[in-house]
Structure formats: C-alpha cells, structure tokens
Structure 1
Amino acid sequence: MMWPKAVDWKDLKFGVEIEFVGGDPAGLELLPDWVMSLDEQQLDETGAASGSELKPPPICWEDRGQICTMLERLQAQGATANWSCGLHVHVGLEPWGADMLLPLIDAALLHQQALQALLASSEHRLLYCPPVLPEMREQFIKQPDGTVLRHRGRPQSHRCGVNIAAWFDFGTVEIRYANGSLHDVEVLHTIELCLRYVAAIGQGLTLTPSSDPYQLAVELGAPVTGYPPHIPIPAWFQQQIWLEAALIPLLAPMAEELVQDGEIHHIATGPDGFLVAIKQPGGMMRSYRVEPPDSGWKVIRELNDL
C-alpha cells in the first residue's frame, strides 16, 4: 500500500492551466515544453471569443520561475485574466498511486467548502466546479473508475471542484476553484495551497473538518490571503445565465435527439433565433441554430414599468 506516505510538498510535480483574454496567443514565445491550447478560448468584455489557455509541462516548486517568466510575457502582450477565466492546478499523485483516491474523496467531502471559500470562487464559476458528493464515494467503492467521480448533465464540465477523476486521465488531482489571474503572487499562492493540501492528505494528516477557510490555511501552513480575487461579471453575462437557466430545460430533449449523450454547453441569442452549443461526451462541440416556437410560450405576468 502506497498511502499514507510523507512527501515534501515542494517535491510534488504539478501543472497549471492559466486562462486569459487578449494578447497574441499564437505569437507568444513559449518556454520548452510549454503548451498554448489555442482552441481553449475565453470571453472578452463584449462576449467575443478571446485569449487562450497556457500550460507548463509537469514541474516542481523549484521550477516556479518558469511560471513567472510566462506570466510576464503574457502581460507584455496585453493579456489579462477577466471574469471568464479560471486557474486550475493539477497535482501529480505518483508517490501514492490509486491508493490515494479514496482518501482524496474523503478529504474533499470534508474540506471542499473551505477550499472554495479560501480561493474566493466567483459564484458564476461554480458551474464549472461542482462538489464531490457522498454518493460518489459509495459508487466508487463499488466501481473504482473515473466515471462515478463526474457529474452528469449540467454542470457544464462534469468535473468536480476537487477533480479526482483526473487521475484516470492524467495521473493527477485537479483543484479548479481559483479565479483567473496573471499576477505571479496570486498564481503561486494558489499552487502552493494545492500542493500543501495534497501532500497533507497523502501523509494521512487529520485536518479539522471545518468550512473555515483560514483555519484550513493555517493548518496547512499555506498563505491565508493573496489568492486571485472575485471579478464581477458584466450585466449582459448575468442575463445570459438567466436565459440559459430558463431555456435549458426546454431545449434539453431536443439536444438529446441531436447529439446522443450530449450536454447543452451554452445558449446565445442571434438575429435568427438561438445558437445552442452541445458538447459531445468526447469533448467536441456541435452548434445549432434553433427558432423559438410559434405557440406554447407562457406569459407569467405583465411588466408595466419597463
């Protein structure tokens, strides 16, 4: 059995997904083995696709200077991290292997609220980092694979805020709660927190089961402050969230007919109806234009003060 096992958090390998808008992603000079995922774009303030997602190869804490270098290069291009961006940290589980998965599930059930609060996750981003559920633990004991550690249907990504299913794809656990940032202190604080947390669980330490984020940080020896802050969303995006919440239940049956096991990723308005983007199980996106019905809409109430 490889768990528990004490490993210095600085020796753990990690990766980080740095989402941003603006800049010139295709023209950015990359350090060796760094990857720019040009198909992973975010939304700028107008709603247009923008920026990309930058990722290092698996590195250790002593290599963190690479991250600072790449953040400087992004900023020099005029890139920024706005409300549509996130910061996802992958921590390698090589020292423990699959023995670490059940302890991580148990830890997530106890500490995910504190991690979310400490990283000040923006409310609109919680769609992309839903919680680990107690029933997932029960299912995992019966069927120890990644499928039982993902959500189905909405939320969009299926991946939990403490994404233990990443083990089956990358050999990591992914912590997805942080807001986007291109500031080196905020990015490094986030990485340090994730490394310290995984190392503590790997060692079998008993952390106080509390939703108090500061208590968790103190017990881990992690920074208490200095994480990427919440960034308010523009009014038009809030309206889009409300629109999607209203339309998805109506359009879900149509989406299931169009794409088997597909999931509505987002809905946007246009001059000729709605654009409905449906994500296939493998990750590919298929988009359709749909028209509202000629009849069948229900009037809830009249608003005379508009």
Structure 2
Amino acid sequence: MTIEWTSIRFGVEIEYVGGTPDEVELLPGWTMARDELQIDDTGRESGSELQTPPLSWVDREQLSIMLERLQASGAAANWSCGLHVHVDLSAWGAPIVPALIDSAMQMQDALRQLLQMSPHRALFCPPVIEAMRGRFKLEPGPGAVRNAGRPQSHRCGINVAAFYDIGTVEIRYANGSLAYDEVIRTVELCLRFVAAVGAGAGNQLPNDPLPLARRLGAPEAGYPQASEPPRWYRERMWLEDALIPVFAPMIPELVPSGEIHHILPGSEGLIVAIENPEGQLSRFTFRATAEGWEKVV
C-alpha cells in the first residue's frame, strides 16, 4: 500500500545528559522519562529521555520548541545518548512486519552507516539476523525478533518487535542530538524508509548508504554526528563483557528468567544488576574469594 511519507505519524525518544529535567515545561502529550538516565562524562547517571506524543509531519515544530527548551535548561547530547524514532504502522498493520524483517536484512548496514552510528552503541542496536526470520515464519510474534542474553541488546537497530507493543517500528541507529535540523532529518529518513517498505519496494533498497538515501529521496548527510566515548567507559565495557559469562550461570537462581543488565564495581565488590521479564532491576554484590565469587549478604 502506497502511503505518502509525510502523512505517517511518528514519535521520537530524545536522550540527553545534564539540564534540569523536572523544570522543563512540556508541551501537551510530551513526557519526561525520569527513570531513563544516561551517563555523563564523569560516569554518573544524568539527564533523562524526552518522549514525544504521536506526531504528524505538520506538528514537527513541536520538536524545535522542546529541543530549545532542553538546551535552555543546560541539557546536552553526549556519546552515551541515542535518538530513537518510532514510525506508526497502523496503515499497513501486521502484513508489513515480515516485509520489514526482510528489508532490514537487505539494507540495515546501509541505514546504520547513513546515520553514522557510533560503534560503541552497537550493543543497543544489534542486527536482524536470518534466525529471526526463520523463527518468525514458524511463530510470528515479538519473541521471534527479540535477542536474548542481555536486556540492552534485546531490541534490534530496526526494532520490529515494537509493533506488538505500541504498533510501531523503532529505528534506533541515530546518535544523540539536540539539534533540530539533525533530528528532523533523521525522522524524515525513517518515515521514507517505512513508506518504501510499505509500498513493496523494501527488497529493492540498496545496501549502500548514499544510493539508499537517493533511492528513498532522503537527505544524504546532516545526521547526528558519531562521538567517541571516554577511555574509562570502553574499559568498563570490556570488563563487563569478560565478566558476563562468569555470572550468567548464577542468574536463574537469583532472578528466574532474568538477564544481566550491567556490572559495575562497588566499594564491597562487583554489583551485578539483573532485569526480570517485567523490566525491574535487582542488584547483587559479589566479592572475589580464593574459591570463586561469593554473594555479599
């Protein structure tokens, strides 16, 4: 079904650090997710995630207003932030889901490169893979396109599972930005991509950034810039990746069906945060002994 891209509704999740989230005046329908904190350059939790209501292209000036208010509060987007665009699929419904899976496998690399995704954000934007397509054919539903093993990575860069939660596809590749021109270019690209898939052209999209933009009629540049995280953050992630296989076997006993969310050093040992299927975090402290890791009571 051919739908003009400017007529498709969308939503944006804007991650940022700093500022005074509780003091930012919100437009009607906008929300400030105070539990969605980012990491500032000192390693402390900071900022929030500003979420739009469902918007139409004619409502895009609201983005400009709210981005200006965020910046006036002292907020900024740093290396820890992302920009997530939700595109409404209600015009097509469930039949577009397999087409999105196929299209993601066809050109997700090009979309990621066009949006200049910082490499350290790959944990939050894993690819759609052949196994997901196979699972979906056998049993359509969100479980088929969800990663397991770590909550930060359960949503793919092209997150088709969002259809079963809120009727959208979520495109997560863009780096964080509070610049209106960068944000609105990202929104336009995502809308044009979904419109092309909905019109049946998804399998014809090239897996090459500039040809992809030209085929879609989207901007070829001007998206949020990539940024390098500090050395301490990269070292933290290397250590976390090394420790996850050590603690993973202990997780089912601590939190049934839980997954490791993060591991951080603490004054008494390592703090292992585990997320249950409902999204609630439990934290356990472990210290090293001659016999192995011991849970601190």
- The two structures have a TM-score, normalised by structure 2, of 0.96
Identity %: 54
1:115 match: secondary structure: helix
User: Partners in 2 of 1:279 and 1:12 — Cα distance?
Assistant: 34
Conservation of the 8 A alpha-carbon contact between 1:156 and 1:263: no
Structure 1 residue 295 displacement after superposition: 4.3
Give the aligned residue type for 2:9. K
Structure 1: gaps of 5 or more residues: 298-306
Per the TM alignment, residue 254 of structure 1 is displaced from its structure 2 partner at its CA by 1.6
Secondary structure in structure 2 of the residue aligned to 1:98: coil
Say which of 237, 250, 253 aligns to 1:254: 250
Shift of 1:294: 2.2
Question: 1:21, 1:293 → 2: CA distance?
Answer: 37
Aligned length: 293
CA deviations on 1:15-40 (whole Å, 9 max, x unpaired) are: 01000000011111000010110111
2:179 counterpart residue number: 183
* 2:31 aligned partner: 35
1:50-61 pair list within 5 angstroms: 50-61=46-57
Cα distance in 2, alignment partners of residues 58 and 209 from structure 1: 27
Residues 207 and 216, structure 1, Cα contact 8 Å, conserved in 2? no
Partner of residue 199 from structure 2, selected from 198, 203, 208: 203
1:1-306 superposed matches below 5 A: 5-154=1-150, 156-205=152-201, 208-295=204-291
Q: Is the 8 A contact 2:185 2:219 kept in 1?
A: yes
User: Match of 2:175, as an amino acid?
Assistant: N
Asked if structure 2 preserves the Cα contact closer than 8 Å seen for 1:208 and 1:216, the reply is no
Structure 2 letter corresponding to 1:190? T
State the Cα distance separating 1:209 from its structure 2 match: 4.9
User: Structure 2: which 5+ runs fail to align?
Assistant: none
RMSD: 1.3
CA contact (8 A) 2:103 2:202 kept: no
CA distance in structure 2 between the partners assigned to 1:196 and 1:217 by the alignment? 9
Paired residues of 2:82 and 2:174 also in contact (CA < 8 A):
yes
| 8 Å CA contact 1:111, 1:209 repeated in 2 | yes
- What amino acid is aligned across from residue 248 of structure 1 in structure 2? I
Q: Is the 8 A contact 1:9 1:199 kept in 2?
A: yes
Residue deviations 1:97-125 (CA, integer Å, cap 9, x gap): 00111111110010110111111111111
Q: Secondary structure at the match of 2:91?
A: coil
Q: Deviations over 1:56-98 (max 9, x none)?
A: 1101111100001000000001100011110000000011000
SS of residue matched to 2:147: coil
Give, in angstroms, the shift of residue 165 of structure 1: 0.6
CA contact (8 A) 2:99 2:202 kept: no
Equivalent residues of 2:101, 2:160 under 8 A apart: yes
> TM-score with structure 1 length normalisation?
0.93
**Residues 224-281 of structure 1: per-residue CA shift (max 9 Å, x gap):** 0001111110111011011101111101112222111111111111221111111111
1:200–1:220 Cα contact (<8 Å) kept: yes
**CA apart distance, 1:205:** 1.8
Structure 2: distance between partners of 1:155 and 1:122: 19
